[in-house]
Amino acid sequence: MKLDEIDHRLLDELQADADRTLRELGEVVGLSPSAVQRRIERYRKSGLLTRLAAVLDPRASHDLVTAVVLVAVERESQRLLDAFQRRLLAAPEVQQVYVCYGEWDYVVVLTTSGMAHHKEVSERLFNEAPNIRRFSTMLVLNPLRTGMAIPAQALKL
């Protein structure tokens, strides 16, 4: 799918706030509401736009704990690697998972409701996995910027 400058702007606007009306989005990018709707449908059909999600403000709860966990695994068994990945993907506390190249094999971002919950999740995900060589946890003190937005200009489609 080829993207033009309007697509780039519309995708950036959708990532910033998808709750706006088609009219509001159209005013920003210079399209009619129906043209905006057609483009959004094209993004969905192509698989570029996978879902729209609500973003909760982490400041709404005083006991949230966000942690970045670096994980090194033994790579001897694909079965154990698959089981570890399934466990990560099934845990609602896991916000993001990245398979990496280098000293660490995974970067995992967790959000839990307090330190006791964080300890329970860490034990379940990392201490009980037989193929974990080591892991290191960094607790987030102040999330300066969070999000998953991809700059639309970076898309090479």
pLDDT, tens only, 70-106: 999 988 889 999 999 999 999 999 999 999 999 999 9
Whether the per-residue pLDDT at 28 is higher than 80: the answer is: yes
As a 3-state breakdown, the chain gives helix, strand, coil percent values, each rounded to 5, of 40, 20, 40
Here the tokens at position 136 are: 């290191």
Q: What is the mean pLDDT of the chain?
A: 92
The pLDDT assigned to 157 comes to: 64
What is the DSSP pairing of strand 132-139 with strand 106-113? unpaired
Residues 6+ apart with CB under 8 A from 32: 26
CATH topology of domain 5-54: Arc Repressor Mutant, subunit A (1.10.10)
pLDDT tens across 115-131, in order? Answer: 999 999 999 999 988 89
The pLDDT assigned to 53 comes to: 85
Write down the domain spans for the chain: 5-54, 58-139
Q: Where are the alpha helices (DSSP H) in the chain?
A: 5-16, 22-29, 33-46, 78-90, 115-122
Work out the number of other CB atoms within 10 angstroms of the CB of residue 133: 10
The pLDDT assigned to 147 comes to: 83
pTM above 0.85, yes or no: no
CATH topology of domain 58-139: Alpha-Beta Plaits (3.30.70)
Here the tokens at position 18 are: 């998808």
Region 48-77: what's the mean pLDDT? 88
The pLDDT assigned to 93 comes to: 97
Adjacency order of strands within the sheet including 106-113: 94-99, 106-113, 64-73, 132-139
Region 22-47: what's the mean pLDDT? 96
